[in-house]
Amino acid sequence: MKLYELNWALYPRRIGIYLSEKEITDIDRVALDAMDAESIGKLKAVSSLGTVPMLQTEDGLKIRSSIAILEYLEDRYPQPNMIGRSSAEQARTREAMSIADETALQFGIWAHKASPVFAGMEEQNPTTARFGAKAYLKQLERLDLILAENQGPFLTGSQITIADCIAMATVQFAADGYGVPLPGRLELLCAWYEFFKQRPSAYCPPYPEPFLTHAYGLPDHGLDWSLDDIGWNVVLAA
């Protein structure tokens, strides 16, 4: 099997973390270079969708969604189990996966509409960016809530699952790639992140140069990171 990836990027990192957690080493990993048109051209030649990650199986199947890839790999490499055994456990994992996936989506909206990395490529829009920032915070709050309900240390309880890989890829990308820390008041989520960072799977290949200086950083859009309630009633500064 071949995995096409930008090995530091938001969605491919989900798979990188998962492969490391499972100690899967027999997949040929093709690391693309976002700054190199030829490299990206290679991806477009093999995937009509032109997105990473993409997994190509021995029989030619191309899987172009990170979640579909994770579920496919979980079927092929069932040990150690990272999706749950009973229907109830699997439902719990997929619920957490969905929250974590939405967290990434909202962060992406914020970044695409406000970060200099996308200026010039896409229309910038402070109102949409602020919506994304607020929705990202709301999703972080939900991750914190399920950590409390499921009694950690992982999102669904005592075992690491695919959902943790998805959440970790997002939180780490926001923090290290864009300089957006977790709000300190989300104590359980901060503890989860600090704990996860100690695991070998948390090692992230280097970001392209501009990320390292946070040149792609994001404005906070007047959102107060310390608010007790970042829910729908949050009052945004003008």
Ligand X SMILES: N[C@@H](CCC(=O)N[C@@H](CS)C(=O)NCC(=O)O)C(=O)O
Q: Is 196 in the site for ligand X (CB under 6 A)?
A: no
Q: Minimum distance between the CB of residue 211 and ligand X, rounded to whole angstroms?
A: 13
Is 178 a binding residue for ligand X by CB under 6 A? The answer is: no
Give the count of residues interacting with ligand X (CB under 6 A).
11
Interaction with ligand X in 24-53: which residues (CB under 6 A)?
Answer: 50-53
CB of 48 to ligand X, least distance (A): 12
Closest contact distance (angstroms) between CB of 34 and ligand X is 8
- Is the bond preceding 205 in cis, omega lying within 30 degrees of 0? no
d(CA 162, CA 24): 14
Q: How many whole angstroms separate alpha carbon 28 and alpha carbon 47?
A: 17
Instruction: Annotate 39-97 with DSSP letters as a single string.
Output: HHHHHHHH-SS--S-EEE-TT--EE--HHHHHHHHHHH--SS-SS-SSHHHHHHHHHHH
| For ligand X, the closer CB: 71 or 141 | 71
**Rounded CA gap, 99 and 161, in Å?**
13
Structure tokens at 180: 């957006």
Lay out the site mask for ligand X across 53-92 (x = CB under 6 A, - = otherwise).
x-----------xxx-------------------------
Tell me the window of 7-15, 16-24, 142-150, 175-183 that interacts with ligand X (CB under 6 A).
Answer: 7-15
Interface residues toward ligand X, by CB under 6 A: 6, 9-11, 50-53, 65-67
